[in-house]
């Protein structure tokens, strides 16, 4: 619920979302809010603030995030997972922890982005592409990934399968 989290300063990352109580693994945390959905071709017409808080829904459309959900930061070892607008604990979270998700879950542009998450697995940059994740992480994230990513995963798996068979 929204009272279980707060948005505050997250140091070099700007603002972040923090837990106000502990969450068990798998526990629902809060729902992100979409102000509106825009075709990707219209992104240039958005305000700078709106462009900073976009979530790609698929290859053609993005959602403009409002409220706390707009301030969820990325981590290469996230403690939360998002599926659609639902955010839940991926690992146990303690009161006071910053809540983070992995931006690669729904990413496809391949853009490189500087990462300040500081976790052990972090190399300092991320490639915004689900398929840049290692195979085990792809399998773990897949059930929560948007449909267009799941479809591409299946078609890549089939292509690999037929390459092996020939
Ligand atoms: Zn990182």
Q: Kindly report, residue by residue over 119-138, the tens digit of the pLDDT.
A: 998 999 999 999 999 999 99
Average pLDDT over every residue of 52-79: 95
Task: Report the top-level CATH class of 2-160.
Answer: mainly beta
Contact 31/85 with Cβ under 8 angstroms? yes
Ligand 1 centroid distance, CA of 83 (Å):
20
Q: What percent of the chain clears pLDDT 70, i.e. is strictly above it? A: 99
Ligand 1 centroid distance, CA of 60 (Å):
26
Residue with tokens 């729902």: 31
Report pLDDT digits (tens) over 91-101: 999 999 999 99
pLDDT of residue 166: 62
Query: Within 10 Å of residue 16's Cβ, how many Cβ atoms?
Result: 18
| Residue 103 pLDDT grade (very low, low, confident, very high; cuts 50, 70, 90) | very high
Ligand 1 centroid distance, CA of 44 (Å):
27
Element (H, E) at 113: strand 112-114
| Residue 1 pLDDT grade (very low, low, confident, very high; cuts 50, 70, 90) | confident
93 DSSP assignment = B
Which residues have CB atoms below 5 A from the ion given as ligand 1? 76, 115, 117, 122
Ligand 1 centroid distance, CA of 98 (Å):
14
Ligand 1 centroid distance, CA of 130 (Å):
14
109 Ramachandran zone, left/alpha/beta (phi>0; psi -120 to 50): alpha
The residue extents of the domains of the chain are: 2-160
Cα 120-125-127 angle, rounded to 5 deg: 115
| Residue 86 pLDDT grade (very low, low, confident, very high; cuts 50, 70, 90) | very high
């Amino acid at each position: 619920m929204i009272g279980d989290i707060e948005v505050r300063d997250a140091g070099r990352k700007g603002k972040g979302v923090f837990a106000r109580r502990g969450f068990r693994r798998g526990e629902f945390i809060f729902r992100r809010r979409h102000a509106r959905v825009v075709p990707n071709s219209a992104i240039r017409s958005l305000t700078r603030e709106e462009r900073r808080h976009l979530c790609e829904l698929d290859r053609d459309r993005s959602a403009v995030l409002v409220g706390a959900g707009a301030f969820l930061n990325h981590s290469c070892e996230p403690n939360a997972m998002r599926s659609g607008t639902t955010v839940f604990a991926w690992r146990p979270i303690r009161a006071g922890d910053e809540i983070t998700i992995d931006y690669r879950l729904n990413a496809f542009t391949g853009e490189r982005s500087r990462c300040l998450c500081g976790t052990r697995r972090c190399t300092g940059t991320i490639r915004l592409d689900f398929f840049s994740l290692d195979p085990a992480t792809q399998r773990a994230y897949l059930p929560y990934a948007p449909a267009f990513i799941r479809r591409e995963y299946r078609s890549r798996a089939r292509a690999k399968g037929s390459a092996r068979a020939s």
